[in-house]
């Protein structure tokens, strides 16, 4: 998606050689018109998939996922990090996820009352690197015996194994911006 690539080149910051900070327009300060355009593009790409819900992981995927869900006319479900069943006062599914960027793990939580075995779920996330977050979301969806329509990501690091790993599991992956490399602190698409 050209508008996203241009924004990354203008405002993205490469940190420590292989981490791209986009907090100025994706997750700390949000460029609302860009997120709306992203949501329309995601919805257009997945419109024939019979999607019943859009899922995202808190918090960076919320803005694009919200606009995608709005365009598709379906609910948005936000998977929570580090919550226990006791704190939610409801039955949940949980799985452990390792964060590449933060080099930590967290518990991903889905309340059982927000998914059924009839749901066909589109996952929206900000980044795809090793595919750990998406794999965690997929595990939760499958625990509920629902199906995965696909994964839409704003930015993928094509030089990392996430895309290939997920597609080898039969997951359709759509990336709006595909980074081939970081060279001398710059993004190469």
Positions at the binding site for 5-phospho-alpha-D-ribose 1-diphosphate: 129-133
Strands 19-21 and 181-183: unpaired
Residue located via tokens 């019979």? 50
Residues annotated in a binding site for xanthine: 20, 27, 157
Query: Can you list the positions of beta strands (E) in 16-158?
Result: 19-21, 53-57, 76-81, 92-99, 104-111, 120-128, 147-157
Taken as a whole, the chain contains a residue count of: 189
Residues annotated in a binding site: 20, 27, 129-133, 157
Closest CA to 37 of 6, 78, 58: 6
Let me know: does 185 contact 13? Beta carbons within 8 Å.
Answer: no
| Helix or strand run (H / E) with residue 134 | helix 132-143
Instruction: List C-alpha distances in Å: 26 to 66, 110, 141, 145, 157.
Output: 13, 23, 25, 31, 16
């Amino acid at each position: 998606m050209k508008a996203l690539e241009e924004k990354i080149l203008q405002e993205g910051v490469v940190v420590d050689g292989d981490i791209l900070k986009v907090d100025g327009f994706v997750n700390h300060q949000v460029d609302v018109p860009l997120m709306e355009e992203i949501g329309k593009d995601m919805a257009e790409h997945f419109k024939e998939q019979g999607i019943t819900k859009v899922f995202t992981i808190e918090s960076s995927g919320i803005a694009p996922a919200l606009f995608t869900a709005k365009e598709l006319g379906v609910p948005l479900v936000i998977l929570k990090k580090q919550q226990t069943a006791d704190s939610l006062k409801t039955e949940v599914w949980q799985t452990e996820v390792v964060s590449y960027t933060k080099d930590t793990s967290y518990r991903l939580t889905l309340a059982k009352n927000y998914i059924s075995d009839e749901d066909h779920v589109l996952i929206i996330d900000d980044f795809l690197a090793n595919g750990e977050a998406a794999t965690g979301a997929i595990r939760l969806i499958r625990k509920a015996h629902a199906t995965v329509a696909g994964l839409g990501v704003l930015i993928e690091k094509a030089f990392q194994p996430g895309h290939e790993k997920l597609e080898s599991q039969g997951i359709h992956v759509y990336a709006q911006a595909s980074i081939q490399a970081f060279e001398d602190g710059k993004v190469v698409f």
